[in-house]
Structures are given as structure tokens and as C-alpha cells.
């Protein structure tokens, strides 16, 4: 079955030169990525975190970029039937496919690996901004109301319901939701906000999904996402999150969530960010109280007590979470107005290159992380962040999984006390099924080693 679509948004206005470039892109790797991402978004809403499973199921899927005078067309070959209604592609699916075309092929060509490798910190931020602007995520005349929600893709039913409840309370207060766009804690808040927005008769609610090529198949965008952006790597994705956020809510999660928390704490602890205003709340149902205590403890032990002042923990109280975020977003607005900063992109937030440069999670790099307290806490945060990033890669990202298969598990070395804490934390994640969706037995992709 073949199906042609004509892009309708910004991708419908390309010059012949741009179309030629798109089509002649002989970069097979880029094309493969494009094909996989298309497949991933056409599976939006499916319940799996195994990209292999998806790729296996739709082996004969393909997508062709066809040039015509008027622009490009995409030809989908054997696409998943669920993406269609009575022979027509669902409008939301078409939007997602167009986002892939835009962010992978079009932007990907402009910002290729070489360009990015040689870029300085200002250029890296410019790239993040440019991608978001091109996706019309940053726009003039918007009020600060984007709440970034982080949390595991694999959470239990009680936790999931809780994320919906928080989303509902946020939506009732006209706040918008931005997540990593997969299932679990990335979907719940959006679902809840949909109802909250509906009750408040808000028809232009925003459900932003920021993802990356390496993870999009394992965490295909849920069907509520109406603004999808695919950032080139986890570092740019994280930068996009924190520069767009007017508040961050962190739900229970696994290694990815820990990575995110360490990322933002590491940044906010930088002396240049002392006056930054950015409300952060860790929240979950009563049953997750122990979980957050463990996280809180781990932060205190590793980054010190100062780090704990950067967030609040609120247990089992969605309305208070939302109320606090409303006030927080108001404070953000005032801060931005006072500093003359943009409402839609936090330019004044200082992000060290250590947090910007892509970390390649291979065995050498993991082994060489410096996990000792004899350094600035933000430097430690940067390497701890990388450790968790490696675990995520080993769990669900294609490259990581292959590396583990080939070379065995990652070895994470570090200071004795810290490693013990880390080990406890990771074990808890495994026990609580936070590493992978239930149904499969989890085989750890790492080993914690005390120096």
C-alpha cells in the first residue's frame, strides 16, 4: 500500500534548490534515521518501548521523498494501518510526519555532525533556538505558561493516575505541558491537561513533545502531542527543555528522570545562575514518598545540601503543585521582564559546555567519568548526569543496546560512599520496574564499582 502526502506547513514552501538538496541527500544514515522516525511517529499511541519490536513488525515500511514543481511529496510505503481512517491519514499523524521531515531531513542537513562538533557554546544554543523557532515552538507574544513534566515512561497505575491529576490541575490553570512525549509520566500530564483545558474552554492548549532520534521509536509520541520537535541529541533536548520551561515538575521515574534532575541541578548551581527564577517540584502519590526521599537523600549526599534548596517535594497534592507552578510562572514572567529576557526562551540561563557537548555513552567514556566529590558540585553533577545518560542508552537506545551486547555492561567507577548510594538507587529503580516497561525481565546494562 502506497500513500502520498503533501506537506502543508512550513515544509510546503521550499525552493527548488532546497528540494534538490532534500532529495539528493545521499547520506544513507540520515535517510535511515528519517525512515525510522517516520515509522515511530506513525505508531504514535502504541504501547511499547521496544524500538526493535516496531522496526521488526514494519520491516517493509518505507518512505520516499518525491520532488515536484510545487514542493515535495512524501510517499509512505506500507505504513501502519492505525494511522489511517477510511484511507486518509489522520491529521495529527500528518503533522508528526511533517515534523520529522522538517527536523531530521531538513534541519539535519543544515546542522550535521561536523557543524555541531566544531560549534562553540553560543552556536550550540543558537542551534537549539533555531530548531525550536523553525518548529514555531518559540513565538512572539506568548505568556510564560510552559510546564515541563519529567518522569519515567514506565510507572505504575497509581503513579500514572497521579500524573493525570497533576496535568488536570495544571490545565485548569491555563498552563501548557511539555514532556519527552513518550508514555507514562510523559503522557499522563497531557491527558489530564486536555480535560482541564476543555473545562476552561481553552482551544489552543499546547502539548509539546521534545524527543531525539535515538529514542523516538522506543518512546513514540503519544497522540495528544500537537507540537513535536526532534532535537539532534539528548544534550540539545535537555537544553530545549530548560530554556523553554517556566516551571518543571518531576514525577517518579528511572535513570532518565535522574539524568534530567541532575542536569537542571548542575546548571542551576552554577554561580552565574544564582538569580535565576525557575520553580522545580518533585511530586508523586503517597506511595512514592519513599522514592522521593531516596532521591532527595542521594542529591544531598552527592551535590550537597545547597542543591536541595533548588526544588520542593510535594506529596499527594496535585492542586498545590499546580498552584505553586502558577505562582512560579508569574515570578518567571516578572524576572524575564525585569531582565529584558524573552518570555519564550530563557537566554539568561547559563549552561556550561560540560552540559552541552554530547556525551557518547561508550565503555571508555563511562569508565572515565569522574565521580568523586573533590570538584565543584556542578562538575560532579555533569558527570553523574552522564552516568545516568549511559544507563538510559544501554536500556532503550539502539546504539547503547548494541554496545552492551558487544562489550558487556558499562562499568561505573567512583568514590565508595557515592557508589554505594548509587547502587541502592539503581536497584530500587529495577525493583520498581522503572527501567523498562513491565512484561520483560530487566537485565541491568551497568555495574557499579567502588574505587
Contacts with a copy of itself, residue ranges (CB under 8 A): 8-9, 12-13, 15-18, 68-71, 85-86, 90-93, 95, 122-123, 125-126, 129-130, 133, 138-141, 172-173, 194-195, 198-204, 223-224, 226, 323, 326, 336, 339-343, 347-348
Instruction: Give how far Cα 377 sits from Cα of 15, 303, 353, 381, 384, Å.
Output: 49, 5, 15, 6, 10
Q: Would the CA dihedral through 391, 397, 399, 405 be positive or negative?
A: positive
Closer residue to a copy of itself (CB): 98 or 260: 98
Nearer to a copy of itself, 197 or 436 (CB): 197
d(CA 102, CA 135) in angstroms, rounded, equals 8
Q: Kindly report the number of other CB atoms within 10 A of residue 292's CB atom.
A: 18
Minimum distance from residue 218 beta carbon to a copy of itself (Å): 22
Minimum Å gap between C-beta 129 and a copy of itself is 4
Give whichever of 168 and 251 is closer to a copy of itself, judged by the CB atom: 168
Task: Quote the least distance from Cβ 336 to a copy of itself, whole Å.
Answer: 8
Cα 80 from Cα 82, distance rounded (Å): 5
| Residue number, 132 or 303, with CB nearest to a copy of itself | 132
12 vs 440, beta carbon nearer a copy of itself:
12
Cα radius of gyration rounded to whole Å, the chain: 21
Could you count the other beta carbons within 10 Å of the beta carbon of residue 272?
Answer: 12
Separation of alpha carbons 211 and 23, rounded Å = 24
- C-alpha triplet 405, 438, 316: angle, nearest 5°: 125
Question: In whole angstroms, how close is the CB of 195 to a copy of itself at the nearest point?
Answer: 7
At 101 the three-state DSSP class reads helix
196 — phi, psi (to 5°)?
-60, -45
If the CB atoms of residues 222 and 378 are measured against a copy of itself, the closer one turns out to be: 222
- Closest contact distance (angstroms) between CB of 269 and a copy of itself is 22
Work out how close the CB of 84 gets to a copy of itself at its nearest, in angstroms, rounded to a whole number.
10
Amino acid at each position: 500500500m502506497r500513500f502520498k502526502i503533501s506537506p502543508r506547513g512550513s515544509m510546503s514552501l521550499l525552493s527548488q534548490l532546497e528540494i534538490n538538496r532534500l532529495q539528493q541527500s545521499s547520506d544513507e544514515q540520515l535517510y535511515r534515521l528519517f525512515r525510522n522516525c517516520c515509522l515511530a511517529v506513525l505508531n504514535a499511541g502504541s504501547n511499547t518501548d521496544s524500538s526493535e519490536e516496531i522496526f521488526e513488525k514494519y520491516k517493509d515500511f518505507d518512505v520516499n521523498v518525491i520532488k515536484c514543481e510545487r514542493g515535495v511529496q512524501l510517499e509512505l510505503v506500507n505504513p501502519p494501518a492505525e494511522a489511517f481512517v477510511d484511507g486518509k491519514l489522520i491529521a495529527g499523524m500528518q503533522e508528526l510526519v511533517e515534523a520529522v521531515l522538517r527536523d531530521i531531513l531538513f534541519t539535519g542537513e543544515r546542522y550535521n555532525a561536523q557543524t555541531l562538533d566544531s560549534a562553540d557554546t553560543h552556536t550550540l544554543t543558537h542551534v537549539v533556538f533555531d530548531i525550536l523557532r523553525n518548529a514555531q515552538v518559540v513565538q512572539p507574544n506568548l505568556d510564560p505558561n510552559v510546564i515541563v513534566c519529567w518522569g519515567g515512561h514506565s510507572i505504575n497505575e497509581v503513579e500514572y493516575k497521579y500524573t493525570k491529576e497533576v496535568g488536570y490541575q495544571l490545565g485548569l490553570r491555563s498552563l501548557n505541558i511539555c514532556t519527552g512525549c513518550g508514555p507514562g509520566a510523559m503522557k499522563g500530564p497531557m491527558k489530564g491537561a486536555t480535560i482541564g483545558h476543555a473545562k476552561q474552554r481553552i482551544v489552543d492548549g499546547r502539548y509539546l513533545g521534545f524527543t531525539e532520534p535515538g529514542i523516538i521509536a522506543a518512546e513514540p509520541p503519544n497522540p495528544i502531542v500537537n507540537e513535536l520537535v526532534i532535537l539532534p541529541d539528548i544534550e540539545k533536548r535537555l537544553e530545549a527543555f530548560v530554556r523553554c520551561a517556566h516551571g518543571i515538575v518531576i514525577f517518579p521515574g528511572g535513570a532518565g528522570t535522574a539524568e534530567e534532575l541532575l542536569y537542571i541541578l548542575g546548571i542551576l548551581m552554577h554561580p552565574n545562575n544564582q538569580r535565576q527564577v525557575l520553580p522545580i517540584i518533585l511530586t508523586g502519590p503517597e506511595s512514592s514518598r519513599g522514592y522521593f526521599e531516596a532521591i532527595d537523600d542521594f542529591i544531598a549526599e552527592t551535590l550537597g545540601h545547597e542543591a536541595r534548596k533548588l526544588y520542593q517535594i510535594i506529596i499527594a497534592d496535585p492542586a498545590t503543585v499546580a498552584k505553586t507552578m502558577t505562582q512560579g510562572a508569574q515570578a518567571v514572567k516578572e524576572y524575564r521582564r525585569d531582565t529584558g529576557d524573552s518570555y519564550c526562551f530563557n537566554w539568561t540561563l547559563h549552561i556550561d559546555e560540560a552540559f552541552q557537548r554530547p556525551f557518547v555513552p561508550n565503555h571508555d567514556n563511562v569508565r572515565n567519568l569522574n565521580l568523586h566529590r573533590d570538584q565543584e558540585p556542578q562538575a560532579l553533577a555533569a558527570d553523574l548526569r552522564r552516568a545516568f545518560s549511559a544507563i538510559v542508552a544501554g536500556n532503550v537506545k539502539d546504539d547503547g543496546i548494541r554496545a552492551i551486547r558487544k562489550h558487556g555492561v558499562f562499568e561505573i567507577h567512583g568514590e565508595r560512599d557515592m557508589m554505594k548510594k548509587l547502587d541502592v538507587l539503581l536497584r530500587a529503580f529495577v525493583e520498581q520496574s522503572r527501567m523498562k516497561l513491565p512484561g520483560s525481565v530487566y537485565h541491568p546494562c551497568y555495574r557499579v564499582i567502588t574505587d
